[in-house]
Chain A
Amino acid sequence: MTSSLRLRRVPSPGEHLDGICQAFVNVAESSYASFVQACDATMLRDALALLGDEDRWLHAAVDFRGAFGGTFQMALPESLARELVATCIGLDPQEQVEDAHVLDLAGEMANMVCGDWLTRACHRRRFDLRPPLVVPLPPGWNPERWGLPGAPDGAVMCVNDVPVCLRLSFVEQPV
């Protein structure tokens, strides 16, 4: 029996990792006035050592539909999210950052990275982004859980010398 449902070709994450990384650089530098660079294994080891075990990681996920369908995920240390909130709204270092703002920042950052990438990857097709979902990751989480660095579906970038993990997956969509 044959199905009449036709499916779009599903890209591999590797085809779009450079695009996602470029979008991440655009967002972090434009909106958060940060210094961003690619993070190799040595840099990651050093950066994780500086972070310490008590720094919680946040996970932000954005589902997208359009020319491609899938999920963009981002994991970043909560301390970095707090630093970026303070930069974004111009807080003094001693001022308290609200928890709700930290989660909102992680979600909006993931949303912008995904949108910036999709705008460039498929300029002629509109796309829809689901509202970002942000949750804390379990204590002890680290980039190795995603096979980073070196995984074919992800990358690590350093923002102000703090690692941020990016991961991309695609799903089948009907034509």
Chain B
Amino acid sequence: MAQALNILIVDDSVMMRTLIKRVARLSQVPLGEIYEASNGAEAIDVLERHDVHAIFTDINMPVMSGTELLREIGRRECWKHLIRVIVSTDGSSARREEVRDLQVQLYVEKPFRPEVMCDVLSQVAACPEPR
């Protein structure tokens, strides 16, 4: 059986974090801990203290944005294994191009239907990265 997936949800909206968490719990993917952070700086604090396998991050956030967070993750050798998913209202091709260099595996546009997020979680669980 696959190892349970620990995920970190980063979004400045508590309702969005709750929605993603709820969908994740309803999915068939074996989940371990679900951590939350309301901006990139809080996310780094969580990553430094916990074993996280995948991160789901918004882009537009106060204090530290999602792109700044992903750049910081990219600089740290110990977080190389992290599976990176963007969940953003900005689905423009320019924004997708901008994050191409940030090792983002999946890009989810808000609003999303629950089944889309379930599918993304299944893809994350199937990612070959070491866990």
Interface residues of A (CB under 8 A from B): 26-27, 30-31, 85, 88-90, 100-101, 104-105, 107-108, 111-112, 114-116, 118-119, 122-129, 131
Contact = CB atoms under 8 A, between A and B. Distances in A.
B62 A131 contact: yes
A115 B88 contact: yes
A128 B98 CA distance: 13
Contacts, number: 77
B62 A85 contact: no
Contact of A114 (B12, B13, B89): B89
A116 B110 contact: yes
Interface residues of B, number: 24
Given A107-B13, A116-B109, 9 more contacts: A88-B18, A104-B13, A104-B15, A114-B89, A116-B91, A119-B90, A122-B92, A125-B92, A131-B60
B14 A119 contact: no
A118 B110 CA distance: 12
Contacts of B15: 85, 88-89, 101, 104-105, 108
Nearest to A85: B15
Contacts of A119: 89-92, 109
20 contacts: A26-B111, A31-B110, A31-B111, A85-B15, A88-B18, A89-B19, A100-B14, A101-B14, A101-B15, A105-B15, A108-B13, A112-B111, A115-B110, A116-B110, A119-B89, A122-B92, A123-B93, A129-B60, A131-B60, A131-B62
Contacts of B19: 31, 88-89
A60 to B, nearest CB: 12
B88 to A, nearest CB: 7
B92 A118 contact: yes
Interface in B50-109: 60, 62, 88-95, 98, 109
